[in-house]
Structure 1
């Protein structure tokens, strides 16, 4: 493990995604004691400080997509001088579809301490609300704005078996869902959450076809889309026979191999046993 050398501390601070009451005491303390606050939008930061009733003597600098690369060296200098630098995005956790990755990577390379003040996450909130499987999921963030590129990305995810979470702008939601139903099929289950933790929070659940029809009328607010993963590919007995033969050839007992492969593939053990036994006789 790499050892971190002395200096300041880079703090990634999660901010409320809607309801200011979700702000933690740790967030308030981090903002109040920071030496430098790098904010995605300085005006929104000052608004948050006002709503939280927090005062700070920190130097506030803007840190957004357009200037992220150019800000890194200055923030590293502050860290090297022993200062505490807090990074905040407009909502949620920095680095998750928001600025922060570059300065974290640079701080890690320089051996400077990095820590996190956890906060609300639209990804996890929407996933929990979706009613879809949560044991395995992947976060795809914002897909390309151009239709052709977006459709290619969705097509590449058509066989993804994990639940998928996307961010989307409200004015592109209708197009996104139309492309998703083409890539995944009309009947794929999904959920659209908007304005999470806010007064007008809403989650719509249904098939992609149903949600696309609903979105055609127009949707407002911050959007998170959760889409069910693809059903596992069906394995036939014919597909399973080479798996049995390979493991038996490697020295595993025939009966044990048949039982294991049948369980993994969801096949009837007796049927696979009979087919594998017949295949062995044909090879002799």
Structure 2
């Protein structure tokens, strides 16, 4: 199965100074997906990866075209997804492609810029045209319960942060929320991992005793709306 790398680029669209790490990733990708031919061509030139196959994903892409991209990606060991500027899948047409990739069993890995929030959103595969960053839950029990009630009632995609050593507690506390979730740990590191599913499914997958920085993304859709 391929690995889909989701890379943030300069928000100005300047590809003349692509970070070395991103160049290294691009060099091993046989397929690079961007929004339009001109900007993707500039990225490919800046990263010096002209031999890579190029395909396009933008606001005009139909569902069947995104499904085709998922099928084509299976032919490559590594695939790179970028946007014209900034992070793909955040206020960007790529999020449902990433969701399809997850559902196809592909590995999805972030190449983050300075923000773990947008990195986690970009690999979640959930709607992110708008999202609500709720930050850290309060420590006090009564305030904490009210906080999670607000998360439950929120009609946007929600992003949460929490201290690494209370990860299992957090997943248990949000298990009543009938929405899919995405937990990304160690973003941008060699051992980056993302778990997707219900809170209970993720809790069962995360090893006991693990302590790593993480971001939790909660889909806006309840199960009955999927």
> TM-score, normalising length from structure 1?
0.37
Which protein is richer in helix relative to its size? 1
> TM-score, normalising length from structure 2?
0.46
Task: Specify which structure has the bigger relative contact order, considering alpha-carbon pairs within 8 angstroms and separated by 6 or more residues.
Answer: 2
Which protein is richer in strand relative to its size? 2
Q: Tell me which structure has the larger Cα radius of gyration.
A: 1
